[in-house]
Structure 1
């Protein structure tokens, strides 16, 4: 049975989500930050006959995330998603595979990524870079978006600015950056930060400043700060070169993530 989740379901929902806190960090973070009764966020759960949660679907603005351990009611969840105008759908590869043929995904870009986790800061001491690392504030939001737009590998969503601003305001995300002559040249962000974990996203360096160790320098700061806060770090990647950097810093592959974006 699938039904809308409400605050009274929180205990049983978290009993399910925390079985795999890394892969479920987006859903955990959004529930902790925004709860169950926001216009931009809704949750549905599939329950077993004895009242346990076996799958969760999250709508956050115009994107959906599915979490399912084993076989879920794919048609039931797909019918919910189809009732909305959506521009993103993601989850573990196994969970997404159950729904993707049931959804109108023509025109969406599909990305399969490795999902990696870091639980220690012992490797975050590799860099000899001495560039100052700063943490962005709300006043830096437009500058961050402009840098991201300048990176050809990035696909910037229409609501990216609003979501970045919201993450800073709610402390569910932070952005570290290096600048030269008043211009941001390298940055890395976290998102979906919750009491247990956070995900690294938006790792970028402008073309003329690449291959100088700035990304490693930024990531070391993020790793040390979040591990000190007793949070696990996660990320997904599909670039082998990036994967080598992350693994040198202590990340280990723990699964695969599949994303559809317009």
Structure 2
């Protein structure tokens, strides 16, 4: 049986997803921020013998399923197909693959990326050394955005002063930076989608010409140490296997592949 969930179901929802906060970062964050009664967010649950075994979250036009066992793929697909607009489905690859063949619409984009999590650093950081990484201040937002846009792989990224201000206001993200001896901001690492249990690492980069000096690792050590001390699980996406090796040295392990599929609206199909 599938039905729409409400705040009375929250304990059951957290029993299903709460022990995997990294895998369910987006679902947990959206539920904490917007609950069960928002017009732009809904959540459905599949029950088996009165037990919640699978959920499907809609945030705007985006859908994320989660289950630790086989779920009612056809039932979730029918819910998704009711939306006549452009839609997106995303989640762990093994949960998204069964849905693909049931969403009969023109494809806009299909991407996959590695998804990794960290429950603890693999080595003890030098506490004195990581003090070289500093919390980004409002007066530095513009400089930080300019730094990130100078990094080739981030040239098309959605970085802005407004985004930095919003993350600080709502405590959904934080950024640490490193400056060299000349005072130049040379590296940066941030979080996004922070919630009470987990956070996603994003925007890890070094100013061109200053690579391979440990600056970005320093930012990561400071950022990860702080978040882990708060009891949060960490996660991140990466495409580059070389970057993956760096993250794994810190203590990140692969969860699997994260799949994102965007479809055209019914009118376009």
The normalised TM-score by structure 2 is 0.79
| CA–CA distance in structure 1, aligned partners of residues 124 and 165 of structure 2 | 28
- Structure 2 CA distance for partners of 1:151 and 1:38, relative to 1, 3 Å: farther
Q: Does residue 11 in structure 1 map to residue 11 in structure 2?
A: yes
Q: In the alignment, which residue of structure 1 is the partner of 2:44?
A: 45
Shift of 1:208: 2.8
Q: In the alignment, which residue of structure 1 is the partner of 2:2?
A: 2
| CA–CA distance in structure 1, aligned partners of residues 252 and 86 of structure 2 | 32
Q: Structure 2 matches for 1:18-97, cutoff 5 A?
A: 18-40=18-40, 42-82=41-81, 83=83, 85-86=85-86, 88-97=88-97
- Structure 2 CA distance for partners of 1:119 and 1:145, relative to 1, 3 Å: same
Q: Structure 2 matches for 1:216-255, cutoff 5 A?
A: 216-255=217-256
| CA–CA distance in structure 2, aligned partners of residues 84 and 161 of structure 1 | 34
Shift of 1:54: 2.0
| CA–CA distance in structure 2, aligned partners of residues 2 and 148 of structure 1 | 44
Larger Rg: 2
The normalised TM-score by structure 1 is 0.80
- Structure 2 CA distance for partners of 1:3 and 1:183, relative to 1, 3 Å: farther
| CA–CA distance in structure 2, aligned partners of residues 84 and 211 of structure 1 | 48
Instruction: Please give the per-residue CA displacement for 1:191-226, whole angstroms capped at 9, x wherever unaligned.
Output: 232222222122222333322222101100011101
Contact in 2 for aligned 1:188/1:219 (Cα 8 Å): yes
Contact in 1 for aligned 2:118/2:233 (Cα 8 Å): yes
SS state at 1:20 partner? coil
SS state at 1:48 partner? strand
Shift of 1:24: 1.2
Shift of 1:97: 0.8
| CA–CA distance in structure 1, aligned partners of residues 217 and 232 of structure 2 | 19
- Structure 2 CA distance for partners of 1:174 and 1:261, relative to 1, 3 Å: farther
Aligned residues: 259
Q: In the alignment, which residue of structure 2 is the partner of 1:178?
A: 178
| CA–CA distance in structure 2, aligned partners of residues 81 and 179 of structure 1 | 47
Q: Structure 2 matches for 1:138-217, cutoff 5 A?
A: 144-154=144-154, 155-156=156-157, 165-179=165-179, 184-217=185-218
Structure 2 stretches lacking a partner, 5+ long: 264-269
Contact in 2 for aligned 1:124/1:250 (Cα 8 Å): no
SS state at 1:112 partner? strand
Contact in 2 for aligned 1:124/1:220 (Cα 8 Å): no
SS state at 1:70 partner? coil
- Structure 2 CA distance for partners of 1:34 and 1:183, relative to 1, 3 Å: farther
Structure 1 stretches lacking a partner, 5+ long: none
Contact in 1 for aligned 2:21/2:233 (Cα 8 Å): no
SS state at 1:222 partner? helix
